[in-house]
Amino acid sequence: MTLVMGFFLRLRLASVPADNATMATFLFKTEPDDFSWDDLVRVGREPWNGVSNNTALIHLRACRPGDEVFIYHTGKERRIVGLARIACEPYEDPEKPGRNAKDEPKFAVVDVEPVKPVKTAVTLAEIKSDKRFADLWLVKHTRLSVMPVPAKMDKALRTMCGL
DNA sequence: GCCAACGTTGGC
DNA sequence: GCCAACGTTGGC
């Protein structure tokens, strides 16, 4: 019974367009030599694969269609370059099948599509020097590649990016 | 279940 | 290119 209700609830929720109250924002890092913002614009939609860190995977599984994503370039650039959107529910990486202890797909993936480039690239240095972002994973936890961006920081970042 | 050794990420 | 800060692995 619960299963059946859960099924219909999921169906109903899936058919309701995302609204601002429930939308979340994330930040995804990428090494531009590997896969850049320009690559994303070129292909139009891309499965965000290669995430193997467990904390990053937890954040990735929390992504929902319509959620938006700051795209950040690591390496020499170290700056936010664009805004993208989650295009589907997280799903199992077809190239890396397997289940974790919770019987979830071990390696989750979400498809991402570009929304628009930033007007002003916001650098890691700016973010680190701004107290408002002191609790952002990007600042606190250098090596995490997929992270949520709390609403207040989201707003501040969008302003800085000219979005 | 502990922990040393090792591998990786990503800033500097 | 270096290395700090992790996460992972495997011996015990």
Q: Which of A15-24, A50-59, A109-118, A127-136 has the lowest mean pLDDT?
A: A15-24
pLDDT tens, A5-18? Answer: 444 444 434 444 55
Within 7 Å: CB of A128 and strand B? yes
In this complex, the answer to whether residue A23 has its CB under 7 A from any atom of chain B, a nucleic strand, is no
Query: What share of chain A has pLDDT > 90, as a percent?
Result: 77
Q: In Å, what is the separation between the CA of A74 and the C1' of C12?
A: 39
Token representation of residue A37: 């913002």
Is pLDDT above 80 for A19? no
Is the shortest CB-to-strand distance from A126 to strand B under 7 Å?
no
Nearest nucleotide to the CA of A30, by C1', is B10
Asked whether residue A15's C-beta has any atom of DNA/RNA strand C within 7 A, the reply is: no
Q: Which of residues 52-91 of A touch strand C (CB under 7 A)?
A: 52-55
The residues, any chain, with a CB within 8 Å of residue A149's CB and separated by 6 or more, are A25, A26, A27, A70, A136, A157
φ and ψ of A11, to 5 deg: -60, -45
Distance A59 CA to C11 C1' (A): 33
Asked whether the predicted pLDDT for residue A156 surpasses 80, the reply is yes
Give the model's pLDDT for residue A20. 61
Burial A98-136 (b: 16+ CB within 10 A, else e): eeeeeeebbbbbbbbbbeebbeebbebeebeebeebeeb
Provide mean pLDDT across the span A110-133: 97
Give the tens place of pLDDT for each residue, A30-70: 999 999 999 999 999 999 999 999 999 999 999 999 999 99
Question: Does at least one atom of strand C sit less than 7 Å from the CB of A143?
Answer: yes
- Predicted TM-score of the model (pTM): 0.87
Predicted pLDDT at A10: 41
